[in-house]
């Protein structure tokens, strides 16, 4: 088994001893510009933490609001008025929205906080997008090597294990991109309209609907609901208001910078022929672009984060 790094390939044998894993890790991080030789005192146990000094990065992260909603952290009217226009639903009503949230919070208690860095821990995260550039990448073992693996929408693993891995700890989705999760996977719910919360209520309580034999969509105790203020922050501060609103993938990348100590990003951008396709689909429309999302701007920022060594970006080709 092997994965590809640029033009070179690193072989990984099926049975790795602890020593071999450490050696592989050393090779990977030395390729990406990090080193195991020496590390200054830091807030986390990683070899380079996101919290290490960089004026631009520290400023943009300091502007971030709390990313997740809870009973005590609901949207303001200003946040709601910005959010309700994302998909052209200006008729949405704040009173009805708040009542819907109350119903939801009576059903679940979402996880509301992200953990702080700690000198005894290193939270390594892989954010796995769905770009066609993952085909033939052989990144699977490297993706699964991370503590946290965040997948986006319907990103498949079955049949694509060599390129995208098998591990999923967090899944980003909304109703139109929903897939049923196992009992150990965190749901990162990205709502874009009030109806999304109504859908979630039904999906979490299928026995109350007309189809009592349906299984619930996710574990109620492993839910995190993205706050409209965070979406607004990413659109305005990170993207300079370009596009109508950020893609779910780019929202996940920025979110990972708050959740993790080390971040690796896979499966973003167009493929080697310039097509914005998905690795699990047959490309039929070669003129397909990124729609309402500023895909090229998001890609530039991901590249910038890589150049500043805040993340490691694996392009796939």
Asked if residue 241 is part of any domain, the answer here is yes
Asked if residue 72 is part of any domain, the answer here is yes
In this prediction the pTM is 0.83
Structural domain including 103 reads 44-314
Extract the tokens encoding 144.
Answer: 């699964």
Q: Which of 174, 245, 279, 299 is catalytic?
A: 245
Give the per-residue pLDDT at 16.
Answer: 39
Q: Is 11 a catalytic residue?
A: no
**Whole-number Å distance between alpha carbons of 273 and 275:** 6
Of 75-79, 106-110, 269-273, 300-304, which gets the smallest average pLDDT? 269-273
Give the per-residue pLDDT at 65.
Answer: 96
User: Residue holding tokens 């607004």?
Assistant: 232
Asked if residue 27 is part of any domain, the answer here is no
Asked if residue 29 is part of any domain, the answer here is no
Task: Say which residues have a Cβ less than 8 Å from residue 106's Cβ, sequence separation at least 6.
Answer: none
Mean pLDDT confidence for 66-71: 95
Give the per-residue pLDDT at 317.
Answer: 64
Strand 8-11 and strand 2-5: the pairing is antiparallel
Chain centre to alpha carbon of residue 115: 16
Closest CA to 164 of 317, 316, 7: 316
Asked if residue 25 is part of any domain, the answer here is no
Give the per-residue pLDDT at 26.
Answer: 41
Give the per-residue pLDDT at 209.
Answer: 52
DSSP assigned state of 131: B
Task: Compute how many other C-beta atoms are within 10 angstroms of the C-beta atom of residue 225.
Answer: 24
Asked if residue 156 is part of any domain, the answer here is yes
Q: Is 139 a catalytic residue?
A: no
Give the per-residue pLDDT at 251.
Answer: 98
Asked if residue 232 is part of any domain, the answer here is yes
Mean pLDDT confidence for 226-252: 96
Asked if residue 34 is part of any domain, the answer here is no
User: Residue holding tokens 């980003």?
Assistant: 172
The tens digit of pLDDT for each residue in 91-110 reads 789 999 999 999 999 999 99
Q: Say whether 189 sits in a helix, a strand or coil.
A: strand
* CATH code of the domain covering residue 253: 3.90.1480.20
The tens digit of pLDDT for each residue in 192-210 reads 999 999 999 999 887 655 5
The per-residue pLDDT of the chain, averaged, comes to 83
Extract the tokens encoding 50.
Answer: 């996101």
> Between 74 and 121, whose confidence is greater?
74
Q: How many domains does the chain have?
A: 1
Q: Which of 186, 227, 278, 293 is catalytic?
A: 293
Closest CA to 311 of 269, 258, 234: 258
The tens digit of pLDDT for each residue in 117-145 reads 878 889 999 999 999 889 999 999 999 99
């Amino acid at each position: 088994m092997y994965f590809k790094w640029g033009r070179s390939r690193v072989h990984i044998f099926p049975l790795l001893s602890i020593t071999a894993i450490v050696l592989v890790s050393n090779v990977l991080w030395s390729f990406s510009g990090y080193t195991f030789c020496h590390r200054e005192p830091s807030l986390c146990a990683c070899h380079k933490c996101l919290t290490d000094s960089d004026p631009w990065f520290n400023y943009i992260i300091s502007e971030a609001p709390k990313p997740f909603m809870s009973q005590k952290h609901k949207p303001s009217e200003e946040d709601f008025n910005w959010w309700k226009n994302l998909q052209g639903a200006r008729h949405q009503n704040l009173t009805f929205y708040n009542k819907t949230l109350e119903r939801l919070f009576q059903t679940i208690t979402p996880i509301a906080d992200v953990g702080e860095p700690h000198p005894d821990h290193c939270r390594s995260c892989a954010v796995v997008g769905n770009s066609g550039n993952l085909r033939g990448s052989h990144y699977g073992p490297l993706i699964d090597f991370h503590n946290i693996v965040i997948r986006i929408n319907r990103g498949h693993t079955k049949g694509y294990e060599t390129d995208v891995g098998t591990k999923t700890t967090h899944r980003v989705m909304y109703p139109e991109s929903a897939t049923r999760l196992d009992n150990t996977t965190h749901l990162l719910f990205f709502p874009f309209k009030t109806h999304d919360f109504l859908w979630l209520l039904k999906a979490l309580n299928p026995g109350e609907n007309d189809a009592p034999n349906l299984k619930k969509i996710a574990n109620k105790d492993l839910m995190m609901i993205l706050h409209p203020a965070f979406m607004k922050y990413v659109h305005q501060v990170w993207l300079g208001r370009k596009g109508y609103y950020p893609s779910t993938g780019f929202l996940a990348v920025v979110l990972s910078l708050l959740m993790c100590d080390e971040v690796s990003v896979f499966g973003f951008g167009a493929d080697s022929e310039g097509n914005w396709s998905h690795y699990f689909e047959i490309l039929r429309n070669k003129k397909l672009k990124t729609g309402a999302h500023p895909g090229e701007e998001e890609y530039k920022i991901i590249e910038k984060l890589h150049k500043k060594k805040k993340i490691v970006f694996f392009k796939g080709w």
